[in-house]
Structures are given as C-alpha cells and as structure tokens.
Amino acid sequence: MYKIAVCGCGVVGSGVCDALMDQKEKLSRRFAREVGLAYVLDIKDLSGTRYGQYKTDDLETILSDPEVETVVITIGGLDLAAEYCFRSLRAKKHVVTSNKAVVAAHGPELERLAFENRRRFMYEASVGGGIPIIRPLNICLFANDITEIQGILNGTTNYMLTGMFRRHASFDEMLARAQRKGYAEADPTADVDGYDAARKIAILSSIAYGGFVDYREVPCTGIRKVALVDHELADKAGFALKLIAGSRFENGKVYISVEPKLVRRGHLLSDVDSVYNAVLTKGSYTGDTLFYGQGAGKEATASAVVGDIIELLGAPEKFSLPDFALKNAEVAKDETPVRYYVRLASPSQPAAGALLDLFGEDTLCLFTKREQDPWEEKIQECVSAVITPPFTPGELDEKLGGLDGICARAKLVLKVLD
Ligand code: HSE
C-alpha cells in the first residue's frame, strides 16, 4: 500500500484527510495500487472522529514505516512545521505542505535537502488556496521570462473588504466571520497587516524570477486604515479597493510590495471579490495569464494538497532544483512614478483650485460630506480625495508637505493600479 501520513489535523489537515478517505477508491484505481491515509498526527484527541483510527502522537512512527512514501505537513506556525519537513525529507519521505511560513522562511534549504535525498518537496497549497499557481509557474510557464506578478493573495482580507464595502459590516464583524469560516490564520494579524500575502508574493517571486526573495524584505501595509468612505470615493471614480501583492523584475532587481491599492475597474483584478484570490502573471511568451479561485478555506486548500500527492504518485522521481534554491534575489525600492489616491479631511471643503494647483491640472478631485457626532453635537466634516497624476514617491512626499497650506491633513495615501 502507498501510505500517506497527515501531520496536523486542523482546518486544512482535516480537509486533506476527508479527501483522501472519500476519494480512496478513485486514487487507487488511477494508480493501480492501493493508496490511502495511514496516519494522522495531532496532539488533539481524535477518538470519536473519522480520523481516530489513524491517530498517532509520534512522527517517528510515521518515519520508520517503510510503506509511508508521502508526509503531508498541515501544522500551522513555523518552528514545529519546519522541523517536521526537515525530518521527513531526511528520512527519505516526500513532503507536501500548505504551510507558507515554512516555505517562505526555509524554501531554499528544503528544496536542496529534497534534491540531495532524491525526494520531492511540494507546496502548491501554500499560495492561493485551491488555485493551481506553483506548478504552472514552475512548469507550464517555464519558457517565459516572467516580468511581473500582481495578485490578490489573501482570502481573509478580500472577504473582509468585500463585506465591509458591500454590506457596510464592521472590520471586527468581518474578521470574526472570516475566522468562523476557517479563512483566517491562528493569529489574524498576519492576514490584516499583510504579512501572509507578503510571504505568498515572496514565494511566487522567488520561483518566477529565479532568486530567493526574503519575505522580510517585502514592504508591507495591511487594510486597517482603509474605510468605507475610501471605497465610496474610489467607486465613484471607477476604482475598486483591494489588498494587492505585487512584484516586478527589471534589470535584475525585484520590486515588490503588499499594500491596499485602488484598482481601475476593468483591470483583471478589480472584480475579484470575497474569499476569491487571483494571480496575474506577465510572461515573455504568453503575455498576461490569469489564475483565479478560492484563496482560503478547508476544501479549496485540501484540493491543492491532494493535487501535489497525485503529482507525486505519477512522477515520484521528477527531481529538479529551482534557481531560487541556489541564489538570492536583489530587492530594490520602487521609484517608478504612479498615480496616487490621497484622502484628506478638513473642517470645511478644501478649495478644488488649491488641490489642482498642488497636484496639477490632471488631478481628479472627489468630495463627500460626512456627519460626525463625537461630542453629541453634529459636526460636518468634509472628506475629499484626489487621484493624482503619476509621481515618484519623492515627488509625492514633497506635494504632501504642501497640503498644510490648504488647511487639510493627509489621512490616507494609496497607490493606483491602472
Ligand atoms: N489566512 C489565509 C488567507 C489562508 O486568508 O488567505 C490561506 O493561505
């Protein structure tokens, strides 16, 4: 029997166990041998669940069973999950993981270790939930020089932004819903502050550009500061507001960031809503290619894990070493001019003329009034926003200094993705 062990029976792990148990016959038929779940390692008591019969507490039991060919690591966090990946590869087991923290932090070492041991290290489920993107980048798009990746790579924040803007639900309510649905990380600050998306764009960029991108070098801003009024103003001007994880490869350098951006309606990412993710790649042969699907959740992520297991069953000896396992990428600060959305608040309406003088004639000015009631007395606040012509970050800083002169404070500055 081809035995599979699953370490970590949480949201994703239990989804993998379900899929392996439900699809056992189909799997075995496809490969003309018995294939099935043999061990489930977890500290939780699994008696009374359908996984109870497979339960073990000890990784050694799994590693010392010669019939176990593949170990699935769906443990969250970093250290224990990484240790299990290293130990399993050293014990000459194939490893499949959904843990992006492990891949982002230890990807090159684990790829090298797998290669030295003539085993495979697979992590399709680490980026984009159920979307096939790692294998397409590694194999299907291999002929291309990839020059750009733009993605919505966090299901939790996309689900939250969609609910906050469409149904006027609060940030806290949407976060609680995302947690209940199993989308959010154990520590959801990784989602809302952009660190989860930073790991994912670092993984994709490492594969695409052939040099390891350290996720700690990704400038990262989350969604805490965006408000309903930003959505309303952006919408009026023909933009959607999304957390964008993007990177570009130019002259040997990687320009990368995670930040909320205004995305022009009609752009392929502008209508990606709710828990859906999308990845747009630009290749020298293909031009634009778009990958779309559910970016988080038990079933979608389990589907990607099982896809890796199928790949292993079909081609266990397809060993290769990606370039990023051998060299680091150079990450540089992006000074390209782009348009900006700048939201201001002031007690009275700032003169459109003054804003045009400051940012230039091609500036788009948007206004709305908002009633605030901080001291049980209605106060009208004027919220204005501009969409500027393209500026470099340095030029924009200079302009923002000029806002003092027109009695307004810059409250939020976002880039525009045209
Ligand atoms: N917390 C992650 C997300 C899970 O919301 O995208 C999938 O990686």
pLDDT confidence of residue 353: 80
Residue 183 Cβ inside 6 Å of ligand 1? The answer reads yes
Are residues 264 and 363 part of one domain? no
Q: Could you tell me which residues are beta bridge partners of residue 259?
A: 244
Of the residues 122, 145, 179, the one at which a domain ends = 122
Q: Is residue 318 part of a domain?
A: no
Atom number, ligand 1, closest to the C-alpha of residue 296: 7
Q: Is residue 303 part of a domain?
A: no
pLDDT confidence of residue 306: 98
Residue 414 Cβ inside 6 Å of ligand 1? The answer reads no
Nearest CA to ligand 1 atom 7: 296
Instruction: Check which CATH number belongs to the domain holding 222 and give it.
Output: 3.30.360.10
CA of 155 to the centre of ligand 1 (A): 5
Q: Is residue 277 part of a domain?
A: yes
Q: Could you tell me which residues are beta bridge partners of residue 276?
A: 294
Residue 296 Cβ inside 6 Å of ligand 1? The answer reads yes
Of the residues 100, 122, 144, the one at which a domain ends = 122
Residue to mutate (ligand 1; options 185, 244, 276, 298; most atoms within 8 A of CB):
185
Q: Is residue 102 part of a domain?
A: yes
Are residues 142 and 287 part of one domain? yes
Nearest CA to ligand 1 atom 4: 296
Are residues 374 and 263 part of one domain? no
- Residue 283 neighbours by CB distance under 10 Å: 19
Nearest CA to ligand 1 atom 8: 296
Helix, coil or strand: residue 184: coil
Can you state the angle between helices 171-180 and 155-166, rounded to 10 degrees? 130
Are residues 114 and 36 part of one domain? yes
Cβ neighbours for 392, distance < 8 A, ≥ 6 positions apart:
335, 336, 337
Q: Is residue 255 part of a domain?
A: yes
Residue 129 Cβ inside 6 Å of ligand 1? The answer reads yes
Atom number, ligand 1, closest to the C-alpha of residue 188: 1
Are residues 147 and 110 part of one domain? no
Cβ neighbours for 376, distance < 8 A, ≥ 6 positions apart:
none
CA of 185 to the centre of ligand 1 (A): 6
Angle subtended at Cα 202 by Cα 294 and Cα 81, rounded to the nearest 5 degrees: 75
Q: Is-catalytic flag, 200? A: yes
Task: Please state the domain count of the chain.
Answer: 3
3-state helix, strand, coil in the chain (%, to 5): 40, 30, 35
pLDDT confidence of residue 375: 61
Cβ neighbours for 139, distance < 8 A, ≥ 6 positions apart:
none
Are residues 261 and 166 part of one domain? yes
Atom number, ligand 1, closest to the C-alpha of residue 178: 5
Are residues 393 and 270 part of one domain? no
Instruction: Check which CATH number belongs to the domain holding 73 and give it.
Output: 3.40.50.720
Domain range for 257 is 134-295
- Residue 390 neighbours by CB distance under 10 Å: 15
Q: Is residue 332 part of a domain?
A: no
Residue 155 Cβ inside 6 Å of ligand 1? The answer reads yes
Of the residues 122, 152, 183, the one at which a domain ends = 122
Residue 128 Cβ inside 6 Å of ligand 1? The answer reads no
Q: Is residue 305 part of a domain?
A: no
Are residues 354 and 258 part of one domain? no
Q: How far is Cα 224 from Cα 412, in angstroms, rounded to an integer?
A: 11
CA of 157 to the centre of ligand 1 (A): 9
CA of 88 to the centre of ligand 1 (A): 25
CA of 151 to the centre of ligand 1 (A): 13
φ/ψ of residue 300, rounded to 5: -60, -45
Q: From first to last of the 418 residues of the chain, give the pLDDT tens digit.
A: 999 999 999 999 999 999 999 999 999 999 999 999 999 999 999 999 999 999 999 999 999 999 999 999 999 999 999 999 999 999 999 999 999 999 999 999 999 999 999 999 999 999 999 999 999 999 999 999 999 999 999 999 999 999 999 999 999 999 999 999 999 999 999 999 999 999 999 999 999 999 999 999 999 999 999 999 999 999 999 999 999 999 999 999 999 999 999 999 999 999 999 999 999 999 999 999 999 999 999 999 999 999 999 999 999 999 999 999 999 999 999 999 999 999 887 666 666 788 888 899 999 998 877 766 656 666 667 788 899 999 999 999 999 887 776 656 678 999 999 9
CA of 295 to the centre of ligand 1 (A): 6
pLDDT confidence of residue 368: 78
Atom number, ligand 1, closest to the C-alpha of residue 295: 6
Are residues 138 and 287 part of one domain? yes
Residue 307 Cβ inside 6 Å of ligand 1? The answer reads no
Are residues 165 and 270 part of one domain? yes
Are residues 140 and 110 part of one domain? no
Q: Is residue 187 part of a domain?
A: yes
Are residues 107 and 196 part of one domain? no
Angle subtended at Cα 283 by Cα 278 and Cα 286, rounded to the nearest 5 degrees: 95
333 CB-contact burial (10 Å; exposed 0-12 / middle 13-18 / buried 19+): exposed
